[in-house]
Every structure is written in C-alpha cells, then in structure tokens.
Amino acid sequence: MSNLIIIDGTSYTCPILSIERKADTLYKYAERTEDGNLHSERIGWYRNYRIEVGFMTDHVAYQALYNKLTEPDEFHMVSLPDTIGMTPSYEAYFAGIADRLIRVKGSNQYWHGLGFDVIARKPYRT
C-alpha cells in the first residue's frame, strides 16, 4: 500500500506497511467511588496514529521525511489517510521515531523500518 502523508502542506508519498489509528480519550477527571461507579468529565477524543513505512529506494525522499519528522518545531499540521480519503488537517506532534540501518554498500546506506507516532494536540470530538 502506498499512500500520502501531508505534513505542513508538503506531500510525502511512501510505501506504508501499516497504519494503526487510535481514538484516544482524555478526562478532566475520573474517579471511582466506593460503590464502584465511575464519575468523570471527558475532555474529548484525540486522533492518534502509529505509522510504519516500508523500504524506500529514493534516499532523498526518505531523508526528507525523516528530517521533517525530527524538526525542532513543537507542532505540525498533518493530514493522514482516513476511512474515506484523508483527515482534515490538524495539529499534532511526532514521537517514537525509529528506524534501522539494514545494509551498507560502498558509500550507500540503506535504512528501513521507519515508524512514528502522530499525537493530536487538540481533540477532534468533544
């Protein structure tokens, strides 16, 4: 599967091995009383992803994506594959960025297994 990842208005076409979509919820407070009932106030639902990218033969495109993911900017505007089409752009940050060197041939290095988390800044549903 080859899909598009849009970060700060730039499209990154890469072979996507997997996308794990998580609808995480956060609470202002959540407490259980002695009778076992949960009393809580939900802040909202957050659109978070774990993306695993496959092997890319275009080293320049791979490095551009890696550089974007590791920029020092705190938040980025992202749009990712959704059930139908792409998500609307939303603010997020990247975490858990990792890949591995699988081969060195002469002066060429081949990296594989790029994976990263996309964590929403604000809830998309409240």
Quick one: which of 83, 112, 91, 4 has its CA closest to 48? 91
Q: Is the pLDDT of residue 32 over 80?
A: yes
For residue range 5-29, list pLDDT tens digits in order.
999 999 998 999 999 999 999 899 9
Which pLDDT band holds residue 3 (cuts at 50, 70, 90)? low
pTM of the model: 0.87
DSSP 49-103: EEEEE---S-HHHHHHHHHHHT-S-S-EEEE-B-SSSBPPPEEEEEEEEEEEEEE
CATH 1.10.10.10 correct for 2-120: no
Radius of gyration for the chain, computed over Cα atoms and rounded to the nearest angstrom? 18
Q: Is the pLDDT of residue 115 over 90?
A: yes
Identify the pLDDT of residue 72: 95
What is the residue-averaged pLDDT of the chain?
93
For residue range 75-101, list pLDDT tens digits in order.
999 999 888 889 999 999 999 999 999
